[in-house]
Structure 1
Amino acid sequence: MERYYDYILSQNSRILAPNGIGTFVVNLLNEILEKQNKTERVTDFKSLLTMPFDELENLHDAINSDRSQDIMNNKVNSKKLNTFRNYYTRFFTKKIECPENEIKKNNISLIQDLGITVCPYCNRNYINSRDDSSGCEFDHYYDKQTYPFFALSLYNLIPSCSTCNRIKNSKSYDFCPFKVNSDEEVMFKVDLSSDSSKLQLYFGDKSQENNVLKLEDAYEIHEKDVAEMFRKETEYCKEYRDYLINLLGDRGNIGKEFSEEFFDYMIFGEIANDGFNDYLNYPLSKLKKDTYDYIVQLRAE
């Protein structure tokens, strides 16, 4: 976050001057909060750029009113906010010198610093870069046209694949990958009532048939991946595993090394680990983890 803040300042040396655009944005934001009798305040420009998503969400809710829009639409305010909004495009596609003395575009450097290689929205597409071409785009969770205050806020920038970014566009979406304390879990459920393994995506207890990102369309082709997991479970069933243990146990008494967890890891991979949560670096890992957990549940029934 420090590097990101320092980078923004390096792109506009007057941004924090008394008449600078950063100071203006913070003051206008606090003016809107005060006129709405809200207790929230933004202490400084650095706080606006780096505040955690939960704080950003509270700030968004506090200014999300027609009265706020009236103040923002004032001719002078609107012009300055538009200048601030456009900083995103100017800053993020500009090449910078990184600590390892490489020259990279800022958006490429930022996604590499985050250590994320799979789109957090769909968990399907890789978002790594090749040479000078970025495979990642940044979606403004709160769109910068309606909420220009958050145009550069780090936790409002969701690294995403181009498909998710274009489908979401400026629409609101109920799930933010940065909202770590959310009580509403996204979950895949498998319907085995028919001949094929049908998938349904749930957000909390609600079916996502009309999901903003159209994930139900994206995951239609992955019913075959679910079917493959059930095929493996059938093929390498308990009877077959017991047979292997007995066979190997007769040759050195090593059968005790082959636990249920060992076999599951060999068959299903990383997602079979109880503590697996690295969804941002393994494509389809959420689908496969939920399916695996369901398979384990079925074994106990």
Structure 2
Amino acid sequence: MIPLKSANNLIVDTHFDRVFERLQKSIKYVLKNGCKYKKVRYTPDATERAFLNTLKQKIILKGLVTASPERLQLLRRYMLKRFPHIHLNTNNLNRLLYKIFVLDAYSTLDKHSFIAKLDTDTCSYCNRNYIYSLSKSSKIKPELDHFYPKSLYPYFGVSFYNLIPSCQTCNGLGVKGELDPFSNEMVSPYLTKDDDYKFTFDLTKLDYLSPLDGSSSVDVILLKQIDGNVQIFKLDELYKLHNDHVLELVVKAEVNYTARYREYLNNYKGLTFSDAEIDRVLISNYTSLNELHKRPFSKLYRDIALELGLIV
């Protein structure tokens, strides 16, 4: 729902440097010993051995780990064309690559450090929850979702732009899980645009005697959406549960609260506010497109506030 900005090259290259030796070492091990999964021994055949020998080259591994979001789509197509059954977890090469990229490389990834370098504070999929973590040793840890699931696409196990910072709800069991985003027509947050989603609302009645007690009379509607993402993450259903946020904005618009308070802040002696800062104070959330990642529900607040004329 909230677009993720591409990281600068230094951050992406540093990520590769941290996983490169582990990957190369694991590939050499698998070439020599294969791997074991559920008491079954998997060893590379001649074609797979040639592929792994090519893969262990630094330039090839770097191209895979640092591939752009668009490049990941092309690599997916290439891999499925060359190895049509690679997405099956019973496939020989799938198991070998899972050992290399997931069990050996991703399992040792410092997720706290990885997310700390990304410029985002809320879940990219839903914008409903923070994704803060306190420290490496804390039980409150960040979540990373493999947009292309690691069981289907193990070769993307540590690809920088396949690792999506997300909340425990969106990354939980029974949500996206191991569903294939390609067949479910999902879009990566790195390829999501600012106008891919748009909220509106339907207010059937406003009780002027108890205006904040009538949230059941407000229906939150996604006027524009990415269907696959909304269906998988149940965004339509979840946002309908937060209609109290919309009702508060409606009440502010009805009592002309923001116009008077905007004038007050503009004329406040000793303090100077930008227009974006005044908007933030008025509706209690960020409204600038480049700041929506900073607070939950910011996209909802921005869209509804614009519709109500609370901000311009």
Question: Normalization by structure 1: what TM-score?
Answer: 0.70
**Using a 3 Å threshold, how does the CA distance of structure 1 residues 108 and 216 change in structure 2: closer, same or farther?**
same
Identify the residue that residue 5 of structure 2 maps to in structure 1.
Answer: none
Identify the residue that residue 250 of structure 2 maps to in structure 1.
Answer: 230
Identify the residue that residue 103 of structure 2 maps to in structure 1.
Answer: 86
Q: Is the 8 A contact 1:185 1:203 kept in 2?
A: yes
Q: Is the 8 A contact 2:201 2:218 kept in 1?
A: yes
1:217-271 alpha-carbon deviations (Å, 9 max, x no partner): 32233100111011112223588569x77xx99xx9x9xx999978645412453
State the percentage of identical aligned residues.
24
Identify the residue that residue 15 of structure 2 maps to in structure 1.
Answer: 4
Q: Is the 8 A contact 1:108 1:134 kept in 2?
A: no
1:93-142 alpha-carbon deviations (Å, 9 max, x no partner): xxxxxxxxxxxxx1111111113221111111111112423432111111
Q: Deviation of residue 143 (structure 1)? A: 0.8
Matched, 1:199 2:220: yes
Q: Deviation of residue 296 (structure 1)? A: 2.0
Identify the residue that residue 127 of structure 2 maps to in structure 1.
Answer: 123
- Counterpart CA distance in 1 for 2:280 and 2:125 is 26
Identify the residue that residue 143 of structure 2 maps to in structure 1.
Answer: 137
Letter in 2 for 1:114: L
Letter in 2 for 1:197: V
Q: What RMSD in Å do the two structures reach over aligned CA positions? A: 4.1
Q: Deviation of residue 43 (structure 1)? A: 5.8
- Counterpart CA distance in 2 for 1:163 and 1:46 is 32
- Counterpart CA distance in 1 for 2:161 and 2:292 is 18
Alignment of 1:149-228 (within 5 A): 149-166=155-172, 167-173=175-181, 174-180=186-192, 182=193, 185-193=196-204, 195=206, 196-204=217-225, 211-228=231-248
Aligned match for 1:267, one of 260, 282, 285: 282
**Using a 3 Å threshold, how does the CA distance of structure 1 residues 74 and 206 change in structure 2: closer, same or farther?**
closer
Q: Deviation of residue 16 (structure 1)? A: 7.1
- Counterpart CA distance in 2 for 1:143 and 1:286 is 27
Q: Deviation of residue 290 (structure 1)? A: 1.0
Q: Is the 8 A contact 1:187 1:290 kept in 2?
A: yes
Structure 2: tracts of 5 or more residues without a match: 1-11, 35-47, 207-216
Letter in 2 for 1:154: F
- Counterpart CA distance in 1 for 2:228 and 2:201 is 12
**Using a 3 Å threshold, how does the CA distance of structure 1 residues 80 and 122 change in structure 2: closer, same or farther?**
same
- Counterpart CA distance in 2 for 1:261 and 1:12 is 46
Greater alpha carbon shift after TM alignment, 186-195 vs 216-225: 186-195
Identify the residue that residue 307 of structure 2 maps to in structure 1.
Answer: 294
Q: Deviation of residue 193 (structure 1)? A: 4.6
**Using a 3 Å threshold, how does the CA distance of structure 1 residues 76 and 215 change in structure 2: closer, same or farther?**
closer
Structure with greater contact order relative to length (CA < 8 Å, sep ≥ 6): 2
- Counterpart CA distance in 1 for 2:197 and 2:98 is 35
Q: Deviation of residue 154 (structure 1)? A: 0.9
- Counterpart CA distance in 1 for 2:244 and 2:116 is 32
Q: Is the 8 A contact 1:138 1:159 kept in 2?
A: yes
- Counterpart CA distance in 1 for 2:54 and 2:115 is 31
Aligned match for 2:66, one of 34, 37, 50: 50
Greater alpha carbon shift after TM alignment, 3-12 vs 60-69: 60-69
Q: For 2:221, what is the secondary structure of its paired residue? A: strand
Q: Deviation of residue 10 (structure 1)? A: 4.2
- Counterpart CA distance in 1 for 2:66 and 2:54 is 17
Q: Deviation of residue 156 (structure 1)? A: 0.6
Aligned match for 1:68, one of 50, 59, 84: 84
**Using a 3 Å threshold, how does the CA distance of structure 1 residues 164 and 216 change in structure 2: closer, same or farther?**
same
Q: Deviation of residue 13 (structure 1)? A: 5.6
- Counterpart CA distance in 2 for 1:58 and 1:267 is 45
Letter in 2 for 1:158: I
Identify the residue that residue 295 of structure 2 maps to in structure 1.
Answer: 282
- Counterpart CA distance in 1 for 2:274 and 2:158 is 50
Aligned length: 262
**Using a 3 Å threshold, how does the CA distance of structure 1 residues 113 and 233 change in structure 2: closer, same or farther?**
same
